[in-house]
Structures are given as structure tokens and as C-alpha cells.
Amino acid sequence: MRRTTLSMITAGTAIAASLAIAPLASAQDKPKLKIGLMLPSSGTYAALGTAIENGFRLHVAEQGGKLGGREITFFKVDDESDPAKATDNVNKLIKRDGVDVVVGSVHSGVALAMARAVKASRTLLIVPNAGADAVTGPMCAPNIFRSSFSNWQPGYAMGQVMAAKGHKKAIAITWKYAAGEEMVRGFREAFEKAGADVLFSPGLPDIEAVRLVCRSLTRPFNFMVGMPGRSFSVAELEAAGVRRISLASTLYRAAMSGLIGAAREALEAGTFGYLERMHAGVSGEVLWKPVDSQLALGVELNYTKQRDTDGGLGFDEYDYDVVTGYVSAYYDFGNGYLGQLDVGRYLAGDVGATLSLDRVFANGWRVGAFATVTDVSAAEFGEGGFDKGIRFTVPFNWALGTDSRRGFGMTLRPKTGDGGARVDVDDRLYESLREYHTDGLDPDWGRVWR
């Protein structure tokens, strides 16, 4: 606020001085001075626009409400920090309102458009904040004043100080916009002039920008690789004038990005307690499922102890515990068809695999079939030789007309046996997440059952 207020007091003094030297009539005959404030009153820079206006009005109030002996009339336009609207906005003040002085702005692009307009109309312009070098450089005119800084100035001073302190290498980082590039140019000019050994400028947008920087330097330019979207071949960089290439943290970031990406795609869940009607214990699961992938991979591990047949909390009736686990692959074939392959150890201690295929319909119904083959012999298993069956699920929201993720399910087997049996734990990760990934949501938006 202090810098803005002081700059606006300077602007007011400049206006008063310019009026004082003009051959005007006596104070009683002077018309009111029309001042147009073209500042941002909305958007990102609104606070700066308000501060500049307050500073200007403060100075006018301290001068008794007059500048150069003339009373003041203010006109305001919100420049919206939009260069595309700047010419029309400044012409409202110059042509429609007939102002004598224009004050603005904060955005450099807006200030450049204002400078072009006032230069043509010879209206006095005071620039209180925007730092575009061209306003008081190539576009300089007797009616254009700056009460603040140019973008080049702070960068140049910083380059001088850093070089004076003995620093020989520097990295310049900026967004791709006029103010940032002009500040870096000022820094680079001073730093190189003082004898810097090497200059970095990460994030250059294209090979032409690299070529331009190299042409403007007499010292070696070090190009930092690994910036997203800024990949060029060694031959291209050499042809552009680059003499040094720095890997910086590229290899580290590549390794860490892969690790973090894999971690974000891996999900885990754990359950402890009475897992189902017949077993209690601990169950854990890890699932790898990228959002846009049809394939998912999972690992499940369970330690269970058989419960009493009365359904109570005891474990006295049976002395049986077992560790089971599976490696699973899931695949979404599209159109509601889902495949799953589980390989591992089952409740009876047998080892084998289960293959299943399900169809999920748009209304939530689900129908599927499965088959399990383990190292339990056909003689031990009994009729049919292996576990198999069909299953279906009817969603509650279809039957009741209320929103619910639950449903009624049933599995039909021709014969049940110990072989291929597994602990039944609700809310496995794949089923919990599948419908939230990619197009799994799309067909659901139109389902409204009442």
C-alpha cells in the first residue's frame, strides 16, 4: 500500500506540475480537470486497482480537492485486466467523456493498449503500476509518464547485486508472459555484463525461444532438460546455440513420478472381526486399478478361525484355523461383461483357481457363472468333480424405488463340498470401485427407478 500510495502522490504531483506550466487563465476561469481512472475493480487485480485509486484521491484531498488550481471531476472504467477490451475502454474515457488525464493501469497488456491510444490523441497518461518496458521505451512520448517501475528495472538491479556478491551461476524461472520475460531480461543483462560464467533459463516454450536467448548472450547458455512439454533433441539444441545441457533433477523426478503413480493406482483395504457366518479373523486386500484401464490386479490374504455352528461368538466347537490367499485378475470386456480369475489357497487348504464371468445390466441386475478347480481329487469332492455354479443379484433400488447400493443375491450349486470353498467378505475393492471408474458412471446417470 505504501508504494502504491507514494506512486499515486507522485502521479498527482506530475499532473499539477504539467498544469502549472501551461499558460492558463486565472483560477476563477479554469474549467474542471477531468481525470479518467482506468483501473481493475474486478478480478485478480481488483485490490491493486482500489489501492491506486485511494492513493490518488488521498493526494487530491490533501491539496484541497484541486490540482493546478483546478477542481477535479473523476470518471471511472473497470479495465477488467483484459487487453482485448483495453482500446475500447480507454476510448470511452478519451472520446466519450473527454478526459484531460488517464490514470492506469495494473496489467501490462492493458497499459500498452492505453499508451497507443493516448499517443494518438495526445491525452496525458499516468501509469501507476503496469511495468511493461515498451510504455516508456519504444512507445515513449511527451504525454506519457510512469510513477512506478518498469519491469526491466528490478531484474537489472538484482543481477548487479548478485554478481557483486560473487555469484557466477544463476537460474531464471518465469511464466510465459511479458512482465516475467522482461524482468528476466533485465537480470540477464546485468548478470552477464558483470561476468557471469553460465546462465540457466528453464521452461522456454519452444526451440525458437532457446535460439533467441542464445543469440542475446555472449556467455554459455545451459539448457535444463526435463521440463514438461519442453523436449528437444541434442542436435536441435546444439543448432540453436546451446553449449551445455543439465539433467538437473530429471532422473530423480522420473523415478519418483513412476513410484508415486503406481502408489496412487494401488488401493488397499483391511477387515478384522466376524467376516461371515462361519468364520472370523483378519482379511486384507491390495488392488491395482488405473482409472482408465479395463484391467485390474489384486492380492487378498486372510487368516480365519471357524466359528461355532450356533452362530454365537465362540470358537469351542471346532479347532480349525487356516491362512488363505489369492492373486486375482479382473477384466472389463465392455457392455457389462466382467471376467475374473483367482489363483490361490482355499479354506480347506486346497490350492487351485476360480474362473468367473458375469453380466451387469443397465438396471443393476447381475447374472454370472463360475467354476473352481483345485488339487482336491474328484473322488474326494464327490459328484461333478469340481465346484461350479450360477449366481444372480437383484438390486434393492430396482424393487423398492429407493437409492441403494445393496441388493439381494443368491448362488446355486449342483453340489457343495469343502474343495474350492472360500471366506465370503463383503465390499471387496474391485466391486466397490469399478463403477466409479471411467465410463462405469455413464450408463448410470440415466437410471431413475421410481
Q: Mind listing the pLDDT tens digit for each residue in 358-387?
A: 999 877 789 999 999 888 877 666 655 578
177 alpha carbon, distance to own chain's centre: 19
Cell of 256: 519418483
Q: Residue 182 — φ and ψ, nearest 5°?
A: -70, -35
Q: Is the pLDDT of residue 344 over 50?
A: yes
pLDDT tens-digit profile of 107-160?
988 999 999 999 889 999 999 999 888 898 888 899 999 988 888 888 888 888
As a whole number, mean pLDDT of residues 306-314 equals: 73
Q: Residue 24's pLDDT is what?
A: 42
Confidence of residue 72 (pLDDT cuts 50, 70, 90): very high
Decide yes or no: CATH 3.90.950.20 for domain 2-146.
no
For residue 57, pLDDT over 90 is answered with yes
pLDDT, position 242: 82
Residue 18 reports pLDDT greater than 70: no
Give the pLDDT band of residue 76 (cuts 50, 70, 90).
very high
Mean pLDDT for the chain overall: 78
- Residue 322's alpha-carbon distances to 158, 191, 274, 419, 422, in angstroms, are 71, 72, 15, 14, 11
d(Cα 237, Cα 242) in Å, to the nearest integer?
5
Q: Quick one: pLDDT at residue 197?
A: 57
Task: Tell me what pLDDT residue 377 has.
Answer: 76
Grid cell digits, residue 378: 474328484
Pick the CATH number of 152-248 from 3.20.20.60, 3.90.1150.10, 3.90.1530.10, 3.40.50.880: 3.20.20.60
Does residue 275 carry a pLDDT above 70? no
**What average pLDDT score do residues 80-106 get?**
93
Find residue 126's DSSP bridge partners: 103, 145
CA 89 to chain centre: 33
Q: Is the pTM of this model over 0.75?
A: no
Query: Secondary structure of the chain: what % helix, strand, coil (to 5)?
Result: 35, 30, 35
Tell me how far apart the alpha carbons of residues 388 and 378 are, in angstroms, rounded to a whole number: 13
Distance from C-alpha of 115 to C-alpha of 127, rounded to nearest angstrom: 9
Looking at residue 115, what is its pLDDT?
92
Mean pLDDT score, 171-177:
70
**What is d(CA 66, CA 73) in angstroms, rounded to the nearest whole number?**
10
Residue 448 has a pLDDT of: 33
**Diameter of the chain measured on Cα atoms:** 122
The pLDDT tens digits for 398-422 are 666 555 556 778 888 877 766 788 8
Q: Do 153 and 186 meet the contact criterion of CB atoms below 8 Å apart? A: yes
Confidence at 15, pLDDT banded by 50, 70, 90 = low
pLDDT of residue 446: 39
Cell numbers for 442, please give them: 455413464
**pLDDT reported for residue 5:** 41
Task: Please tell me the predicted confidence (pLDDT) of residue 304.
Answer: 86
